[in-house]
Chain A
Amino acid sequence: SQTIHQWPATLVQPVGSPLSLECTVEGTSNPNLYWYRQAAGRGLQLLFYSVGIGQISSEVPQNLSASRPQDRQFILSSKKLLLSDSGFYLCAWSGGQLSTGELFFGEGSRLTVL
């Protein structure tokens, strides 16, 4: 069966520090991978998606970047965190047709920037 792991679960970082959130998927190959951010009382906002190694698309301009160094590994990074980067970050994967593929989410990473 397929599983998705995301870490760290909780992170408290000072403004201006770097960030690295990691996500790995097991039990499937060539998944579509996503990074979402969830603000309180708001719907999930898609940050990045990837259809393959090294292929990253960004939905919104921001202080973050993403990389996919391996087929089942997706990393969310920042060189210098801002207060506005605080939030709940979710990694997800889907397979099959892009328009019908169900999204499977990781457990999430709570980032607090102080």
Chain B
Amino acid sequence: KNQVEQSPQSLIILEGKNCTLQCNYTVSPFSNLRWYKQDTGRGPVSLTIMTFSENTKSNGRYTATLDADTKQSSLHITASQLSDSASYICVVSPITGGFKTIFGAGTRLFVKA
């Protein structure tokens, strides 16, 4: 069964600190892996997208990595800001079709001053 597991479930960090969120997936073969940021009560917004052949992708202070051998991805946030407080969702699309896209439950990040 295709699954996407994220850890930790929630995380509290101080403003200015770095953090790393994890995503393990069993979807195979897959077309692409994306990280989305979702503010409370809002729709998710895409941060990064990687195909199976890519190892890393950056978007400002956000850097995603992908290890297709171990089926793991991580999202690293550098110099966190209060506005980074949100849920971060790992999303994997299988090669069989975008309609079968699988969403992780997300990591809830709280950045405190």
- In the assembled complex, the Cα of A59 lies from the Cα of B98 at a distance in Å of 13
- In the assembled complex, the Cα of A97 lies from the Cα of B98 at a distance in Å of 8
- In the assembled complex, the Cα of A5 lies from the Cα of B10 at a distance in Å of 30
In the complex, which residue of chain B has the Cβ closest to the Cβ of A36? B103
Which A residues are within 8 Å of any B CB, using their own CB? 6, 32, 41-44, 46, 49, 57, 59, 88, 90, 92, 94, 97-108, 110
Contacts of A57 in B (CB 8 A): 99
- CB within 8 Å: A-B pair count: 62
B43-A108 in contact (CB<8A): yes
Which B residues are within 8 Å of any A CB, using their own CB? 4, 9, 31-32, 34, 41-46, 49, 51, 89, 91, 93-99, 101-106
Q: A41-B9, A105-B43 are in contact. List 17 more A-B contacts (CB 8 A).
A: A43-B4, A46-B101, A57-B99, A88-B41, A90-B43, A98-B98, A98-B99, A99-B32, A99-B93, A99-B94, A99-B96, A100-B32, A100-B98, A102-B46, A104-B46, A107-B42, A108-B42
24 contacts between A and B (CB under 8 A): A6-B43, A42-B105, A43-B4, A43-B89, A43-B103, A43-B105, A44-B44, A59-B99, A88-B41, A90-B44, A98-B99, A99-B93, A99-B94, A99-B95, A99-B97, A100-B32, A100-B93, A102-B34, A102-B49, A103-B91, A103-B101, A105-B43, A106-B43, A108-B41
